[in-house]
Amino acid sequence: MQDTEKRTMTLNLTPREMAVLEDLASKKDLSKTAVMRLALRLLQAVDAKTQMGQKLMFEDEKTKEKSEMVLI
Amino acid sequence: MEESRVYLKKMATGQLVEASLLDEVIDKHLAMWKASWQTAMQTHCAGRALRDKPEDHHWNWTQKADYWRPLLGYHSFAITCEGDLQGLMLVSDFESARVQAQFGKPIVYVKFLACAPWNRPEFQTPPRYRGVGTVMVAAAVELSWNLRYRGRIGLHSLPKAEPFYRDTCKMTELGKDAAHQNLTYYEMTNTQAEEFRLTH
């Protein structure tokens, strides 16, 4: 479902945060706003999984070593 | 909820008929799934060995809806035609591309896509309608365009659906994925998406 109503907020970022946002926007081929919205959707999805008792794991493709990311 | 007019091929007459693509699965669709789709699936599966059951026979769309509905990153679609539910799809919009040319860029990931039992040749000959899968893939591509993902989509295919994604949708096959029940992963690049939009 596409929400058409939008609400505006001001986001203050440090220069480092802005640099990261600009880098991610370039890498992902998205606008900075789209990156922030993507981050929100992703965080909500991960949070829902962890609330269900699941873990967020990363696996090294070469070594198969696994590490867990624990979110606050 | 937005409704778009799409067309399916009615196999009994060979004619294209109007259908509706809805960009949200609502309670009415889940009730239709439970009343007719699930019933047809259960009847078909009764007494059959697991290997002879449709690969998606265990998908419970009511339970899936309970999970995806509160989440911003999930989008559900339904197709209805002549009063019946014809297909359902769930996609997410926060996964990353794996094809080298677009590696790390966001894609629309098709988590579940199914057409109604009566649209499958193993349930009835001829199936009632054709084109449900193509309309759903087109919907995923359009969502990808709307999100500025340039049409990029990806999915893990059930084995029997692989020819559809490989040959009809012309998606790139990236091999079996041990992290997803060894299902084969397919991805559509932005170039393939443009081609798909032109030809479907």
Whether A22 maps to a domain, the answer reads yes
- For the cut 90, the answer to whether the pLDDT of residue A64 exceeds it is no
Whether A46 maps to a domain, the answer reads yes
Whether A37 maps to a domain, the answer reads yes
How distant is the Cα of A26 from the closest Cα of chain B, in angstroms? 10
Phi, psi (degrees; rounded to nearest 5) at B75: -135, 130
Q: Residue A42's domain spans which residues?
A: 15-69
Q: Does A38 touch chain B (CB under 8 A)?
A: yes
Tell if the CB–CB gap between B106 and A38 is shorter than 8 Å: yes
Q: Does A54 touch chain B (CB under 8 A)?
A: no
Q: Which residues contact B155 (CB under 8 A, 6 or more apart)?
A: B109, B110, B111, B113, B165, B171, B185, B186, B187
Per-residue model confidence as pLDDT tens digits over B6-32: 999 999 999 999 999 999 999 999 999
Q: Does A5 touch chain B (CB under 8 A)?
A: no
Whether A10 maps to a domain, the answer reads no
Whether A27 maps to a domain, the answer reads yes
Per-residue model confidence as pLDDT tens digits over B134-169: 999 999 999 999 999 999 999 999 999 999 999 999
Per-residue model confidence as pLDDT tens digits over B39-95: 999 999 999 999 999 999 999 999 999 999 999 999 999 999 999 999 999 999 999
- For the cut 70, the answer to whether the pLDDT of residue A2 exceeds it is no
How distant is the Cα of B90 from the closest Cα of chain A, in angstroms? 11
Q: Does B72 touch chain A (CB under 8 A)?
A: yes
Tell if the CB–CB gap between A44 and B105 is shorter than 8 Å: no
Strand (E) or helix (H) holding B77: strand B74-81
B74-81, strands of its sheet edge to edge: B129-130, B3-10, B15-22, B74-81, B84-96, B106-115, B153-157, B183-188, B172-177
Tell if the CB–CB gap between B73 and A41 is shorter than 8 Å: yes
* A&B contacts, CB < 8 Å: 45
- pTM for the complete prediction? 0.93
Number of domains in chain A: 1
Whether A3 maps to a domain, the answer reads no
- For the cut 90, the answer to whether the pLDDT of residue A60 exceeds it is no
Q: Does B94 touch chain A (CB under 8 A)?
A: yes
CATH of B3-199, one of 3.40.630.30, 2.40.50.100, 3.30.750.80, 3.30.2010.10: 3.40.630.30
